[in-house]
Amino acid sequence: MSLPEFDAADFIRRVLAEDMGSGGDVTSAATIDPDARFSATMNCREPIVVAGLDLGAAFFRALNAEVRIDMPVRDGDQVEAGTVLMRLSGHARAMLTAERSALNTLQHLSGIATLTRRYVQAIAGTGAILLDTRKTLPGLRLLDKYAARMGGAQNHRMRLDDGVLIKDNHVAVNGGVAQAVRRARDANTGLQIQVEVDRIEQIEPALAAGAERLLLDNMPPAVLREAIALVAGRVPTEASGGVILDTIRGIAETGVTYVSVGRVTQSAPAVDIGLDFALEAVAS
């Protein structure tokens, strides 16, 4: 799991602290022998696209450095219900304490990857590329966007400093799309200038002012086709706004370069992943 900007150790500390509180796992401490060892199998209970395995395993290692973990699948794999995602063997108390944090993380990230893959498959063969957006859980953007990549999407802007994206409010404040684009060009940020347009008549002024990519917002397929014909390949185009599984294929078939979908990170349901434990025999 390559996320150079993500502080996994800090994330694991915070998540475990949230779950353990100041007293730790009092139930396991009260009911499980301190020397007991468990074997466990983590499996999915529905078809999923896997994301977050290394991070899930890190929760167990944080509480038991000697835990043995085998992962027969990899992030990005599409697997059927019943597939074993992880096999573990280690101290029972530590594994029980880490269980919920590991599962929550895997269920959330795999949920994003699974929904994303459905959108990617829906536009297969059209030539259009699926993009995610900044509609992510606060504090989890790097993880959410990683999961979207595992599902097959490309990442759009990670942060506000990744690119210039002129939207309707910027246009309104500047008095028009051309004025907003010219002002952005004069700022000399060195970043690509993307402009959101929601009417055909905004396209030529945006291009004439120097827009380098057009975001065609909330346009039905017929209008998208007209817009694509007008742009005529001069800049990449992106369709956005209210895209769902039932409509994305028709949108992608208009010839747009990209289709952005906020709901793959904003609204993806967690998938069903479980962890089944068994007490290991103690050597006599």
* 3-state secondary structure string across 195-218: EEECCHHHHHHHHHHCCCEEEEEC
Residue with token string 């069903």: 272
Residues spanned by CATH 3.20.20.70 within the chain? 154-260
Active-site residue identified among 61, 118, 149, 167 = 167
- Residue 92 tokens read as 């029972």
Supply φ then ψ for residue 201, to 5 degrees: -70, -10
User: Percentage of the chain surpassing pLDDT 70?
Assistant: 99
Residue with token string 């800049």: 235
In angstroms, the CA 186 to CA 102 distance is 48
In angstroms, the CA 156 to CA 99 distance is 32
Active-site residue identified among 61, 87, 118, 135 = 135
In angstroms, the CA 83 to CA 116 distance is 20
Active-site residue identified among 75, 99, 217, 238 = 217
- Residue 33 tokens read as 């022998």
pLDDT digits (tens, 9 = 90+) for 157-203: 999 999 999 999 999 999 999 999 999 999 999 999 999 999 999 99
Fold held by 154-260? TIM Barrel (3.20.20)
> In 3D, which of 121, 117, 51, 159 has the Cα closest to residue 264?
117
Per the annotation, the verdict on 66 as an active-site residue is: no
Looking at residues 71-96, what average pLDDT do you find? 97
User: Percentage of the chain surpassing pLDDT 90?
Assistant: 95
What is the CATH number that goes with domain 8-119+269-279? 3.90.1170.20
Residues spanned by CATH 3.90.1170.20 within the chain? 8-119+269-279
Per the annotation, the verdict on 196 as an active-site residue is: yes
Per the annotation, the verdict on 135 as an active-site residue is: yes
pTM: 0.95
Helices vs strands, H then E, count in the chain? 11, 12
Residue 38, H or E segment: strand 37-44
Per the annotation, the verdict on 145 as an active-site residue is: no
Active-site residue identified among 74, 87, 100, 183 = 100
Supply φ then ψ for residue 148, to 5 degrees: -60, -40
Residue 272 pLDDT > 60: yes
The pLDDT assigned to 282 comes to 58
The pLDDT assigned to 2 comes to 72
Per the annotation, the verdict on 25 as an active-site residue is: no
> In 3D, which of 266, 268, 203, 198 has the Cα closest to residue 231?
203
Looking at residues 41-54, what average pLDDT do you find? 97
Residue 281 pLDDT > 80: no
Q: How many CB atoms lie within 10 A of CB 181?
A: 26
